[in-house]
Structures are given as C-alpha cells and as structure tokens.
A and B are shown apart, each in its own frame.
Chain A
Amino acid sequence: GQNIDQPTEMTATEGAIVQINCTYQTSGFNGLFWYQQHAGEAPTFLSYNVLDGLEEKGRFSSFLSRSKGYSYLLLKELQMKDSASYLCAVMDSNYQLIWGAGTKLIIKP
C-alpha cells in the first residue's frame, strides 16, 4: 500500500531551527509537496520538490532524496507564527496526492 510517515508532534524554541521529516512509499513518484495549516484554517502550499536536493525559499527549505523515499522541511529563525501543522504529500504515478497525517509544530518562547 501507499504510505506517508511524519512525526505527530514536535516542539521547538523561538529563534531556533527545526527539521520535520517525511518518509514515503508510493506507487510511483511525481513530486513531493509541503503544506502549512494553522489551526482552524485552510492548508497553504509551501514547497514542491521533484528532483533530489534542497530547495530554499526564505526561512523555509525543503529537501528530497528519491532513492531513500525521504524529505524534510527545514524552518530557520523560528517565529511564534510558525506554530502550525505541516503536511507532507506525494504525487503518485496516477498524479494523485497521497497525504501524511501532518506534524503539529509547537513553538515556545
């Protein structure tokens, strides 16, 4: 079956760096997506990786290793507003998104 695994919850300190991991087993691969979802709000698109390596976008970076079925989202200089759930999703061979359950990130002062 298809599976996306990510930690349920993580805690980090304001100003620090945090890495949220995502491992996947899917039928084919057509890209990996990260979304941010604040409590009670809609998910919003953060990043897309289809080739191996690091994609940087401001304080957020996303890494992909297709051979390992692994990705991470790196958040630097954490701010209180980064408290949210982070959803990992993989597009399979049928161009359908398979979603992880999300990682709830708690930022402490």
Chain B
Amino acid sequence: DVKVTQSSRYLVKRTGEKVFLECVQDMDHENMFWYRQDPGLGLRLIYFSYDVKMKEKGDIPEGYSVSREKKERFSLILESASTNQTSMYLCASSFPGTENTGELFFGEGSRLTVL
C-alpha cells in the first residue's frame, strides 16, 4: 500500500519557535508538495519540489522554507512560528508528467497550533 507519512499529527508551539514538519513517501515519486488547508479556503500551495535539492515557491511561501535532501523526504520549516500559521498542513507526492502531477497522494496532515 502506497504511503505518505507525516511526522506529527498534532503540534502545539509558541510564537517565535522554530517548527519542523517532516514528510516521507515510499512510492519513489519525484514530485512533492506542501499545502496548508484552512476552513473556507481551497488548498494553498506553500512550496513544491520536482527533484532532490530542488525547490520552488508556491502561492504562499512567506514565513516558510523547505528542504529536500533525499528523494523520499520533504521537510517544511517555519523559522519563527506566528499565530497566523495555525493551520492544517498537508504533504503530497506524485509522479512527474502532466496528468500524473495532478493525481496527488496525501499524508494524513499535521495540525499545528501556534499560541
């Protein structure tokens, strides 16, 4: 069974703390994505990566950075967490190619609360 695993389901952090969200996929996918999901809004793309050590900004990259040192692992970093970063964070992966890029496999999500 294919799997995208996110390291933490629930996190509570304080304003200003550094936060790491880890994502690992076992499908040998080239493409990996980080989204945030907020009530009443569609999924918003933070960063994505089409290859190891490659990263591209999505629609809302401010306040975030990413790391992709290995093909299977894509990490999201909040350098200094703020309350407006309280959200559900979803990691996803896909095969390359046009249609395949849209068929995403998601992790269970990490619900982050910043106090």
Contact = CB atoms under 8 A, between A and B. Distances in A.
A42 to B, nearest CB: 4
Interface of A: 4, 8, 30-31, 33, 35, 41-45, 48, 50, 87, 89, 91, 95-102
Interface residues of B, number: 20
Interface of B: 4, 40-45, 58, 90, 98-99, 101-109
Given A4-B42, A43-B90, A97 B107 contact: no
Contacts of A30: 98, 102
Given A96-B45, A99-B42, A31 B99 contact: yes
Contact of B42 (A33, A41, A100): A100
Please give me the 4 A-B residue pairs with the lowest Cβ-Cβ distance, nearest first.
A99-B42, A42-B106, A99-B43, A91-B102
A93 to B, nearest CB: 11
20 contacts: A8-B40, A30-B98, A35-B104, A41-B108, A41-B109, A42-B109, A43-B43, A43-B106, A44-B106, A87-B42, A87-B43, A91-B98, A95-B101, A97-B43, A97-B102, A98-B42, A99-B43, A99-B44, A101-B41, A101-B42
Given A33-B102, A48-B103, A89-B42, 4 more contacts: A43-B106, A99-B42, A99-B44, A100-B42
Contacts of A91: 98, 101-102
B40 A101 contact: yes
B51 to A, nearest CB: 15
Nearest to B59: A96
Contacts of A101: 40-42
